[in-house]
Amino acid sequence: MALEQVAAEYDKEYGVDYVDLPLREMPVTADIHSYDDIDLLFGFEHGAVIDYWVRYTQARFDQKMTFGTTAVMAPDAYPYLQSGQIEGLVGGLKGAAEYETLIGQPGLGTRGMPAQQWAHLLVIGFIVLGNLGYYFTRKRGRRVA
């Protein structure tokens, strides 16, 4: 598995980036040979990928990790955060906005929150309208019978 091979010599598994530039030639990765050379691993993840990182990397190599996830995947990662298996979690747009506020640099997450708030209010409004329509349709049906 690729996550295990990084522990020995990561550039054998990932020798080049997406434009075929060798990783050994990049200043940011020139001195990285294994997990021992990484102080904190940050991953933008989805699905069950966090499970694999925790099982193969944190548990076996004691690698410190933190993750950024979509909002719907954040609840799956909370047990790892609460148990101390991961150091931090940025969950969805709200998490991004909270992080931006924490570091004092508002960005896309902060700017996206009003749109998300209005979208949520619109969905709640449609749910209320649908329930009212169902209630009155059902009530009218009883009178006819």
What are 53-70's pLDDT values in tens digits? Answer: 898 888 888 889 999 999
Write down the H helix ranges in the chain.
2-13, 49-52, 59-61, 74-83, 92-103, 108-144
5-40 confidence digits (pLDDT tens): 666 666 666 778 889 888 888 888 888 878 888 899
63 in any annotated domain: yes
82 in any annotated domain: yes
CB count within 10 Å of CB 131 equals: 10
Domain that holds residue 76: 39-107
86-125 confidence digits (pLDDT tens): 999 999 999 999 999 999 999 999 999 999 999 999 999 9
61 in any annotated domain: yes
Tokens of 58: 């944190």
Given CA atoms 14, 16, 22, 27 in this order, what sign does their dihedral have? negative
Domain total of the chain: 1
Beta bridge partners of 42: 66
Instruction: Measure the CA–CA gap between 44 and 67, rounded to whole angstroms.
Output: 6
